[in-house]
Amino acid sequence: MGFLRHERNECEDCHEKFGSYDELVRHSRDNHKRHIVKCSSCGKQFLHEKDRLHHVREENEKKVDSRRHKF
């Protein structure tokens, strides 16, 4: 109680809630004909370009980290 909960998986159009972001993306694409953007490296789908950019940035940071660990 009192904690801010992340409601990122709520549909912006009909406010239905989903267990995962992937489900929300699929729902928005199929039910509301939303334009979906895809990550070019792993194919993950996003509702907004800013979400994709955030993911790509995290992915790049992970890559840099694993490179650092390996070499």
Binding site for Zn ion (CB under 5 A): 11, 13-14, 16, 39, 41-42, 44, 59
DSSP-assigned states of every residue in 3-49: PPPP-TTB-TTT--B-SSHHHHHHHHHHHH----EE-TTT--EESSH
29 or 44: CB nearest Zn ion: 44
4 or 12: CB nearest Zn ion: 12
- Least distance in Å: CB of 11 to Zn ion? 3
- Least distance in Å: CB of 54 to Zn ion? 11
Contact by Cβ (8 Å): 28, 16: no
- Least distance in Å: CB of 37 to Zn ion? 11
Hunting for tokens 């334009």 — which residue is that? 35
52 or 69: CB nearest Zn ion: 52
How many whole angstroms separate alpha carbon 15 and alpha carbon 32? 12
